[in-house]
């Protein structure tokens, strides 16, 4: 996006357009943490300690460890490894808070991020499936004008 804007393929198929618009709206609400789904936490914050992040967080066996005694349990590996804009979101959010102590609001915010990423992965598969049902790439996006040759 630094040198160009993302291209949005358009379809002449109204059913596909409406389906993708609806899925895109869901995706937008998730990324803005405005979807009610983000309040249904899929992780638990466990362990005793001061909620401090002394160094880089680590991921092991479905848990994100912020320090040797405290963790977010129930984080799928696909969510932990998910990248947006070149950043590993779950790791970066915590690394940006290195040297700080998480408060209750921070803990809840991180849990919302995990839900948003989990749902993003699910929606990406649904978007791909929707496109496949309408002819796949690039067929679903060919219009009468794009099929003409010069």
In this predicted model, what pLDDT tens digit does every residue of 85-129 receive, in sequence order? 899 999 999 999 999 999 999 999 999 999 999 999 999 999 999
24 within some domain: no
Question: In this predicted structure, what is the pLDDT of residue 52?
Answer: 98
Containing structural domain, residue 134 = 43-138
127 within some domain: yes
Whole-structure pTM value = 0.88
102 within some domain: yes
Long-range contacts for 56-62 (Cβ within 8 Å, ≥24 apart)? Answer: 56/91, 56/95, 56/98, 57/91, 57/94, 57/95, 59/90, 59/91
91 within some domain: yes
113 within some domain: yes
**pLDDT of 1 higher than 50:** no
DSSP secondary structure string for all residues of 100-144: SB--HHHHHHHHHHHHHHHHHHHHHHHHHHHHHHTT-TTGGG--T
Number of folded domains in the chain? Answer: 1
37 within some domain: no
77 within some domain: yes
């Amino acid at each position: 996006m630094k040198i160009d804007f993302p291209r949005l393929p358009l379809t002449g198929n109204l059913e596909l357009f409406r389906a993708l618009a609806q899925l895109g709206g869901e995706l937008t609400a998730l990324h803005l943490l405005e979807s009610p789904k983000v309040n249904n936490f899929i992780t638990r914050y466990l362990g005793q300690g001061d909620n401090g992040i002394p160094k880089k967080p680590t991921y092991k066996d479905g848990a994100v460890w912020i320090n040797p005694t405290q963790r977010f349990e129930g984080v799928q590996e696909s969510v932990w490894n998910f990248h947006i804009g070149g950043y590993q979101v779950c790791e970066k959010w915590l690394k940006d808070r290195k040297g700080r102590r998480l408060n209750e609001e921070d803990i809840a915010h991180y849990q919302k991020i995990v839900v948003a990423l989990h749902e993003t992965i699910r929606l990406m598969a649904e978007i791909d499936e929707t496109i496949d049902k309408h002819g796949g790439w690039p067929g679903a996006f060919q219009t009468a004008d794009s099929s003409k040759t010069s």
